[in-house]
Amino acid sequence: MTCVRMEKIVVLDGYTANPGDMSWHALELLGKVEVYDRTAPEEVVERAKDAKVVLVNKVKMSAQVIEALPALRYIGVLATGYNVVDMKAAEEHGIIVTNVPAYSTMSVAQMVFAHLLDITNSVGHYTTAVKSGKWAQSYDFCFYDKPLQELAGQTMSIVGLGNIGSAVARIALAFGMKVMAMTSKGADELATMGICKAESYEELFGKADVLSLHCPLTEETRHLVNAERLALMKPTAIVINTGRGPLIDEEALAEALNTGRILAAGVDVLSKEPPTEKNPLIGARNCHITPHIAWATAEARGRLIATAINNVQAFMEGHPINVVK
């Protein structure tokens, strides 16, 4: 009788992708699987010991960790960004690293407009007002004590026109908005999409009724939104960030909101997550914050897990896909 070796597969922090409403069954068909909801830094080496395949989301796979795991041949990142992996160390040890691209495009684009519509239509405010009896006490058939704003005709300025930025642009155009973008794409290509190419950040910020961030976090884009650029914006402008928290100088944005320099902000990401109570945006005027959930619809998480498992299977079959360099 032939004994088939079952390779050890360890998921070190599976909870955010699968808090219990998804299944790891397809992964279990590929090897001996151990799933941990969360793993502390000091637990990584012990839990991943003897594993050929490790899946991580936010757990850091440092050079020191990789060095301590001689059996490791594959790291699958349960996200698009792979900065949690020391790529140089992985390459030196012959370890394949994969990610999951474009699984949350429409979910994140949807959150951009969830924030934007909540700000412009004050849905949460009016729901609370009705429940508190203000409409029932109104002399008129309707009740409104806060301005409502139409998006048609306003300018959406987008930084970064990849999968998510392009989806946001399409939705904005469907709302009748004008779209301007800062992107490496050429002006002619943008024109075919109905988008105007910004020539400078000064133009992009100055003309924005809504600014939406969809660029990678690099040393060049860190604090892209800062006091100097916020000073260029209209007092009625809205900033939306579903990209990366450090794209924004949070002190500067809080100051702009609190002084009325701009109207409002909707953010799904912060510079430190989870944040401390001292984060300046938490108490800032007209700052709407969601806890990094734009990616987390059931549909997006289902695609994430399915793609991650397909990545593992392709690796085991000898033709890895979604490999990052």
d(CA 8, CA 19): 22
Tell me if residue 244 is catalytic. Answer: yes
Q: Of these residues, 47, 261, 292, 303, which one is catalytic?
A: 292
Please tell me the total number of residues recorded for the chain in this structure: 325
What end-to-end distance do the CA atoms of the chain give, in Å? 41
Pure H helices in 132-280: 163-174, 187-192, 201-207, 227-230, 250-258
Tell me if residue 288 is catalytic. Answer: no
**Does residue 295 contact residue 267 with C-beta atoms inside 8 Å?**
no
Tell me if residue 292 is catalytic. Answer: yes
The secondary structure element, H or E, covering residue 119 is helix 105-121
Identify the CA nearest to 222 among candidates 240, 255, 249, 257: 249
CA distances from residue 181 to 189, 195, 293, 298 in whole angstroms, order as listed: 12, 7, 25, 30
- CA angle 200/202/206 to nearest 5° reads 125
Q: Of these residues, 91, 228, 273, 317, which one is catalytic?
A: 273
Q: Of these residues, 115, 244, 288, 301, which one is catalytic?
A: 244
Residues serving a catalytic function are: 244, 273, 292
